[in-house]
Amino acid sequence: MIYSSFEFIFLFFPIALFGYFSLKKIKKEMTGFWLLLVSLIFYGSWNAAFLPLLIFSTLFNWLVGRKIEKMREVKKKARSWLIIGIAFNLLFLSYYKYSSLLLDLLNTLFSTSIPYQLSDFPIGISFITFQQITYLVDLYSKKIEKHGDIFAFSLFVSFFPQLIAGPIVLYQELIPQLADKKKPNDFDLIAKGIFIFSIGLFKKVILADSLSYWVDLGFSNVEKLTFIEAWIVAFAYNFELYFDFSAYSDMAIGIGWILGIHLPLNFNSPLKADNIQEFWKRWHITFSRFIRNYLYIPLGGSAFGKLRHASATFFVFFLTGLWHGSGLTFILWGLVHGAAIIFYQFWKKTGVVLSKTTGIFTTFIFCSIARIIFRSETIFQMKGILHTMALGKGVSLPQYMNGVIALKGLSFNGVMPLFRKDILSLVSFLALSFILCFLCRNSNELSKQFIPNKRHLGFSLFLFMSSLFYLGKAKSFIYFAF
């Protein structure tokens, strides 16, 4: 059950809202229990077999948190429990995400044939794990003053709007809002939530899922791609991933607002970034915050000289790539971004400043190339597309130019033979993507200007009704795989 499905929009969410607002009227102290119940049902709807794992992980982390709070005055003991908690979470995550890689390595090294038993891993396991790690660390460092009760902590872990793919929320951001029983219903906030949810729904089912057709076609026919088609695939996937992931965040934030809960911003027009460092400040903001505060800074960050800083940056982006998957392409993608960050930081010291337009263009091109590495299932597939993008197959020219231009490496095989059947639709979606990403205000900016008037509500209705026609074809969100 995904946000962009009939089941969620017309069955689950209306029932969840009805129960929530009914209880707010008659017994406010029960609203938290209701949200916990529907959150567990939501998670179980994916695969009920993984629901006990979520409950076990939650209970274990809560018990560790209680030990950390009790041992706060005895620093060594509190630190020991923190290490136990972090180790458990990382082992739990690694077992489901990386055991296949480990088994492949063992089978190769020792010529064995140990079978891989797991066919799937718990959805949202990465985000659930990271969120619980933030709780333990913040409890240890006293950013959280008091260890929450089991129901508050369980709701923090499993709150359904951000359970599967973030935003990664801190305990101190979420629980005080959920615990505020005196807060009245804010109908302007509910209207704004519907508005931002409709934007996210449109981005997902109209834009991201439509662009995925050409992306999938290109990656399935690497050997047939021409120079122009290869670059179109790179641009299309850059847009697809942005629309897909930011759509989920918009919808999560919108659901939160409808419930009266503010979730943190997760995207802020990353494709408008004029350098790679700025890109990472705008892309998946809560994940970047987690990496910076709970990994990069503890590793030393930029506090111990250039070599330590470069090493920490490479290691952080290596882990970022590994978090997305155990394949070599994910790791390579992470290292490429790490190298780009380090290069940019050295570039700043030269004093050479690019214009904002040049910076945005350069960053977009780099990220589009890097997306090919990210999306490729194998090194062979990655090399095939990048080779074509680098003029490895020459440039395709229109037929009438063959007799005029006879340069080596230039030959005609159709400007876009693979995409010729849907060329008008392709150009339209790419043009719309460029306009929306580079010339228009983003969801956050639009929501700040939102007023519950006829114009905004009419716009919400238009986006929502347009999206309904595509709900039956809606794909799962890309980041559900991570």
DSSP secondary structure string for all residues of 364-384: HHHHHHHHHHHH-SSHHHHHH
Which amino acid, one-letter code, is at 80?
S
CB 53 within 8 A of CB 95: no
Active site residue 324: yes
Three-state DSSP at 77 gives helix
| Residues in contact with 425: Cβ distance below 8 Å, sequence separation at least 6, in sequence order | 210
CA distance 222 to 388: 9
Helices (H) then strands (E): counts for the chain: 20, 2
Name beta bridge partners: 395.
Answer: 410
Residue with tokens 């120079």: 227
Q: Assign residue 191 a region: left if phi > 0, alpha if psi is -120 to 50, beta otherwise?
A: alpha
Q: Which of 284, 309, 324, 456 is catalytic?
A: 324
Q: Assign residue 468 a region: left if phi > 0, alpha if psi is -120 to 50, beta otherwise?
A: alpha
CB 398 within 8 A of CB 240: no
Cis peptide before 417 (omega within 30 of 0): no
> With helix as H, strand as E and coil as C, how does 81-109 read?
HHHHHHHHHHHHHHHHHHHHHHHHHHHHH
Which amino acid, one-letter code, is at 14?
P
Q: How far is CA 324 from CA 201, 331, 367, 457, in A?
A: 24, 8, 16, 38
CA distance 385 to 391: 10
CA distance 174 to 461: 29
CB 134 within 8 A of CB 171: yes
CA distance 233 to 219: 8
Which positions are catalytic? 324
